[in-house]
């Protein structure tokens, strides 16, 4: 019985980033899990309801077991098995590849800055997918002997992404889950996730600066007029103040020091669309999503 379950809705803090695409407005709903959820007990599951409709879309499971064997020549051999599995639900799918024997599915380890969508990679709806699987023997209590090590996530990954495909309302949507897998394959940590809410639209793996600010909020106004960004610092102290502009894929577009209370930054040679302005002054920060035209 898998009784240890954690539900994301207890921990999530929601925010949205907007991106103009053709005639539609694509909306990425980003959810930061605070505090991060650590799964380290055997049989414990992380249940992901990525579109917040009350139905579990994906399960992520950790399992471990050990046992002893008494060989005919005497002595005791100990065996250990550690496994982390991904379990898509309700015809949903995970970006993954098929193993050499065709029976096993292994979710990809996806880096930051990668597009997940209808034209990228393979998705599988197989009910059990192996992220990390480790089976080894400890011979005569002192010698480690590896038997099986498989899965892209085996022996640990940090701040990497799982690509997700959601089937809902007769449409297909794309998202991701960002997590860590421990180097000993005995736990994983869930950090955050995101969903593109326009059907058949790709989503990029990145963490919006606007969501991630953890410093005290800076008292300032940030807005845009055509291709000019206006930053008004409501403080007499401008020491070490600076502004950085990012696109919605997390790439830095421009960085500039701020020398007075009212600043205007001309942004040339970039496509019209949504951008993130991140301002820092001393230990205070503020970020704002703006439209450049």
Mean per-residue pLDDT, 217-225: 86
What are the residues whose beta carbons fall under 8 Å from the beta carbon of 255, sequence distance 6 or more? 242, 243, 244, 245
Helices (H), 33-172: none
Report, as an integer, the average pLDDT of 217-226.
86
Domains present along the chain, CATH in parentheses: 5-207 (no CATH), 210-292 (2.60.40.1220)
Express as a percent the part of the chain with pLDDT over 90. 43
Tell me the mean pLDDT in the region 125-142.
86
Q: Is the pTM of this model over 0.85?
A: no
The pLDDT confidence band at residue 24, using thresholds 50, 70 and 90, is very low
| Mean per-residue pLDDT of the chain | 82
Distance between CA atoms of 284 and 278, rounded to whole angstroms? 11
Per-residue pLDDT, 107: 97
Residue 14 has pLDDT above 60, yes or no: no
> Tokens at residue 90, please?
């309700």
| Each residue's pLDDT tens digit, 232-247 | 887 656 677 888 888 7
pLDDT in tens, 86-132: 999 999 999 999 876 667 899 999 998 888 999 877 999 999 999 99
pLDDT value at residue 12: 33
Give the model's pLDDT for residue 32: 83
Residues 13 and 210: beta-carbon distance below 8 Å: no
Greater model confidence, 260 or 199 = 199
Q: What is the mean pLDDT of residues 255-283?
A: 85
The C-alpha atoms of residue 270 and residue 288 are separated, in whole angstroms, by: 18
pLDDT at 259 over 50: yes
Q: Report the pLDDT value the prediction gives residue 171, as an integer from 0 to 100.
A: 95
* Window from 9-23, 71-85, 165-179, 221-235 with minimum mean pLDDT: 9-23
CB 163 within 8 A of CB 152: no
216 by Cβ neighbours in 10 Å (0-12 / 13-18 / 19+) ranks as exposed
| Residue ranges with strand state E in 127-266 | 129-139, 143-150, 157-168, 171-181, 188-196, 203-204, 220-225, 228-233, 242-247, 252-257, 262-266
Count other Cβ atoms within 10 Å, centred on residue 147.
11
150/227 Cα distance (integer angstroms): 50
Q: Please give the pLDDT value at position 38.
A: 96
Q: Which residues pair with 69 in a beta bridge?
A: 77
**What pLDDT is recorded for position 17?**
39
- What does the pLDDT read at residue 249? 61
pLDDT > 50? residue 8:
no
Peptide bond preceding 254: is omega within 30 degrees of 0, i.e. cis?
no
pLDDT value of residue 276: 83
Q: What is the arithmetic mean of pLDDT over 196-201?
A: 91
């Amino acid at each position: 019985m898998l009784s240890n379950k954690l539900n994301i809705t207890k921990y999530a803090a929601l925010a949205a980033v907007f991106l103009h695409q053709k005639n539609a407005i694509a909306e990425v709903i980003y959810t930061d899990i605070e505090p991060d959820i650590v799964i380290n007990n055997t049989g414990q599951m992380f249940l992901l309801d990525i579109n917040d409709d009350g139905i579990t879309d994906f399960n992520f499971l950790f399992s471990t077991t050990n046992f002893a064997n008494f060989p005919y020549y005497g002595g005791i051999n100990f065996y250990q098995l550690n496994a982390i599995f991904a379990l898509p639900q309700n015809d949903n799918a995970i970006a993954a590849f098929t193993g050499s024997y065709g029976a096993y599915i292994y979710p990809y380890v996806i880096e930051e800055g990668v597009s997940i969508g209808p034209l990228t990679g393979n998705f599988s709806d197989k009910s059990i997918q192996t992220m990390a699987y480790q089976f080894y023997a400890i011979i005569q209590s002192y010698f480690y002997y590896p038997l099986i090590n498989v899965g892209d996530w085996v022996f640990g990954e940090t701040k990497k992404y799982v690509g997700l495909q959601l089937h809902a309302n007769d449409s297909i949507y794309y998202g991701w889950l960002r997590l860590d897998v421990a180097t000993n394959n005995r736990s994983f940590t869930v950090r955050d996730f995101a969903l593109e809410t326009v059907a058949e639209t790709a989503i990029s793996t990145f963490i919006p600066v606007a969501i991630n600010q953890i410093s005290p909020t800076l008292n300032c106004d940030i807005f845009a007029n055509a291709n000019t960004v206006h930053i008004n610092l409501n403080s007499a102290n401008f020491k070490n103040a600076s502004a950085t502009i990012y696109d919605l894929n997390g790439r830095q577009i421009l960085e500039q020091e701020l020398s007075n209370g009212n600043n205007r930054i001309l942004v040339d040679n970039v496509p019209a669309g949504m951008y993130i302005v991140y301002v820092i002054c001393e230990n205070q920060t503020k970020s704002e999503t703006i439209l450049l035209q």
